[in-house]
Amino acid sequence: MESVEILRYFLFAIIGALAAAPLALLPALHIYNVAGLVILGTVAMGSLLPQEHLAMLFLGMITSYAILNTIPSIFFSAPDESMVFIVLPGQKYLMQGRGYEAVALTGIGSLGGIAVLLLLTPVASRLFPTLRVILQQHLHWILWTVIAFMVLSEWPKGSDRAPAGWQRWWDGWRNLAAGLATFLLSGLLGFVLMYRSLLPVYAAYQNLLPAFVGLFAVPWVLQNLLAQVELPSQHIARDVDATPGLIGRGVFAGALGGLFAAFFPVVTGGIGGLIAGHATAQRDDRLFIISQGASKVVYYVGGFLLFFVPGLYLTRGGMAWMLSTLWRSYTPQAYYLAVAAVLLTGVLSYFLLLALTRGVIRVMGKMNYRAISRAVLVILIMVVIGIPALGEYVGSHDGRAALQAALGGLAICAVATGIGLIPVLWGARRMNCMGLLLLPIALNMSGLGATVAGWLGLLG
């Protein structure tokens, strides 16, 4: 490969990172939605650019997004499904006026995550295919173990102040019941969407988009609207309260969770982070924030990088699934170039993270927080209506079908919002919403998916 071509690859990765930077600041707008629009554009207008350049563009976008979406997660409280854990300690920092420091700690964790990916590069092409062969036969029970851990760790957390009897029992068990209900309801929604989605076929590539927006993004925005939060002024620190040892431990724990999430199907960064957090017995908020930064990068970027590992043929994460429809990596050279691009765009994104955080802090005091939340809600509704409708219209050129797609997206989002609000309102983990994928896929892997779908009448 010529040097000019290599430079062109890096250029597209940088363009992707720069393009994703402002988009990552928009609360609840997932980079997968943007990538979906690019795919849609490719289908509608033919190949806009060579597929390998598109791959590099996506790589830059996801690296930038994985690092920069910390800003809305902390300042606008609109996390995606991989971020549900960062909000509590992150918001704690925010309310103490230390939002910038929380972002910086997450950024350090993200850089650590990139370093871990870099260290894995020489062994990845041997390690992961071997690991895959070993684990392939065991995925179903591992997934059930993850689910069991997730559900069982939602133990009763009552206030111990309710009157004795049923009320006290309910006080202790309501969050547990809410968690279970969330998991089951989202799982049922997952079954409906996987076997008989309301979305027409041309919008199928974003079949789960309205559900994810409804489960994770909309409830947070509604919570912000209801909570009427008054943010304290933020202090831009010149240093962070973390030692190298703490950073190392945080990166280790985060990378462990991120790798687990990246490698296993359906398991997201949040779930990986939960398991890794318990496995490494984290107690410190700083360590927690750092680990989440690392976990997020390893989950998003590492998962996407697996797509480039020669001989692995592993597709993990929405970005890789979308790209796999157009392009596949076959050579070790592509993999090494991808790692180099991640390193380049990762460092760039870290500096963008600090700069943009300072910018956000400057303008935040002048903005109406409720107005922002309302605007975000409007954006989210436009996304769940627009993307399915556009996909259907581009594919079928049928206005009615596009309208059906829009209404279908809205209906799915509304139901998902109801489910997503349950953990928010009853104090359960929002991660239970991942039942949307976990339940149907775990049942499918165990050979029971079709049986349950049959009970639900979805096979008729």
Q: What residues make contact with other proteins under the rule CB under 8 A?
A: 39-40, 42-43, 51, 136, 181, 185, 188-189, 192, 194-198, 200-205, 207, 222, 226, 228, 321-322, 324-328, 391, 394-395, 411-412, 414-415, 417-419, 421-422, 425-426, 444, 447-450, 453-454, 456-460
Q: Which residue carries 């103490």 as its tokens?
A: 96
Q: Which is nearer to other proteins, 212 or 252 (CB)?
A: 212
Which residue type is seen at 201? Answer: V
Q: Residue 31 or 343: which CB sits closer to other proteins?
A: 31
Residue placing its CB nearer to other proteins in the complex, 232 or 454: 454
130/325 with CB nearer other proteins: 325
For other proteins, which is the closer residue by CB, 327 or 336?
A: 327
Provide the minimum distance between the beta carbon of 458 and other proteins in the complex, in angstroms, as a whole number. Answer: 6
Q: Terminus-to-terminus CA distance in the chain, angstroms?
A: 53
Q: How far is the CB of 315 from other proteins (least distance, A)?
A: 8
**Cβ distance to other proteins smaller for residue 108 or 322:** 322
Give the position of tokens 């972002």.
103
Cα dihedral 422/427/430/433 (nearest 10): -40
CB 401 within 8 A of CB 200: yes
Q: Specify whether the CB–CB gap between 333 and 48 falls below 8 A.
A: no
Give whichever of 76 and 393 is closer to other proteins, judged by the CB atom: 393
Q: What is the DSSP string of 375-395?
A: HHHHHHHHHHHHHHHHHHHHH
**Rounded to the nearest whole angstrom, what is the least distance from the CB of residue 432 to other proteins in the complex?**
12
Of 118 and 204, which CB lies nearer to other proteins in the complex structure? 204
Cβ within 8 Å of residue 33, ≥6 positions away: 206, 209, 383, 387
Q: Are 290 and 112 contacting, i.e. CB atoms less than 8 angstroms apart?
A: yes
Closest CA to 362 of 173, 197, 234: 234
Residue position matching structure tokens 């973390």 = 242
Minimal distance, residue 120 CB to other proteins, in Å: 25
- What DSSP string describes 140-188? HHHHHHHHHHHHHTS-----S-SPTTHHHHHHHHHHHHHHHHHHHHHHH
| The token pair that represents 275 in the structure block | 């398991």
Smallest gap from residue 326 Cβ to other proteins (A): 6
Helix axes of 369-396 and 31-45: crossing angle, nearest 10 degrees: 30
Q: How far is the CB of 44 from other proteins (least distance, A)?
A: 9
Q: In angstroms, what is the minimal distance from the CB of 359 to other proteins?
A: 30
Please say which residue, 3 or 137, places its beta carbon nearer to other proteins. Answer: 137
The Cα 352–Cα 354 span in angstroms is 6
Least distance CB 457 / other proteins (angstroms): 5
CB 113 within 8 A of CB 298: yes
Distances (CA, A) of 50 to 231, 274, 312: 46, 39, 23
What would the two tokens of residue 405 be? 């797609």
Q: How far is the CB of 90 from other proteins (least distance, A)?
A: 24
Minimum distance from residue 392 beta carbon to other proteins (Å): 8
Structure tokens at 354: 């600090």
User: Between 113 and 391, whose beta carbon lies closer to other proteins?
Assistant: 391
Q: Residue 242 Cβ, how far from other proteins at the closest point, in Å? A: 36
Phi, psi at residue 308, to the nearest 5°? Answer: -95, -15
**In the complex with other proteins, which residue's Cβ is closer, 302 or 449?**
449
Q: What angle do CA 66, 71, 77 make, to 5 degrees?
A: 110
